Amino acid sequence: MGVTLSAGHSLSWFREIFAVDQSFDELLEEASAVPPGANGLLFTPYLAGERTPHADADIRASFIGMSTSHLLKDFTRSVLEGITFSLNESIEIFRGEGKQIDRVVSIGGAAKSPVWLQMQADIFDAEVIRLSSEQGPGMGAAMLAAFGCGWFDSLEDCAEEFLKESTVYQPVKERVEIYKEVFAIYQRVYEQTKDINRALINLR
């Protein structure tokens, strides 16, 4: 299991600190106008440390590449991309072990935004499926209960009834190639900032 400690929390934190007067929908809509790579701005979502692939409680988040040309929408886009890059690190571990991952089911808050779902498809280089309900854990519990009550002969039959695809997002080749380059840069940030973050611990 791959874990990103501050996935949705990174976006919530960003909005609370920098854009409290805007809704999530407004932020994401503005970010949709920013090209992949957020105009050269990179975010690592290590607000509370990280788990996968770096089991490190001391590492902290970074914005890298900031300039006076960057606007709020660029920062929002970089936060979304950084979270998705972190999730992609888990996918790359599985692929590195020979697993084929060409379809990903997205649940939770990130599954509510078409902008973010398309970004996931482009970064993961896989189909991203939005279900009719994004309540993954709750739906899983309901399925287990229904199967346990004997309402279905198998969990497969239960899943066919409970899980309905709503929308499928296809990766766009041009954006996939851009994101591969940006992801490679993202992966360098941890090694190049971990010692700096440890040196700052006594100041926190």
pLDDT at 55: 87
Per-residue three-class SS string for 107-172: CCHHHHCHHHHHHHHHHHCCEEEEECCCCHHHHHHHHHHHHHCCCCCCHHHHHHHHCCEEEEECCC
Whether residue 1 is contained in a domain is answered as: no
Which residues in the chain land under pLDDT 70? 1-2, 5, 110, 133-136
Whether residue 193 is contained in a domain is answered as: yes
CATH code at 35?
3.30.420.40
pLDDT at 1: 57
Q: Using DSSP, state whether 7 is helix, strand or coil.
A: coil
Whether residue 3 is contained in a domain is answered as: no
Q: Domain span at residue 134?
A: 8-203
- Residue in the block written with tokens 């899980």: 163
Say which DSSP state 202 is in.
G
pLDDT digits (tens, 9 = 90+) for 110-135: 678 899 999 999 999 999 998 876 66
> Quick one: angle between helices 8-18 and 24-31, nearest 10?
100
Q: Using DSSP, state whether 56 is helix, strand or coil.
A: strand
pLDDT digits (tens, 9 = 90+) for 61-89: 999 999 999 999 999 999 999 999 999 99
Question: How many residues would you count in the chain?
Answer: 204
Whether residue 198 is contained in a domain is answered as: yes
Report the number of distinct structural domains present in the chain. Answer: 1
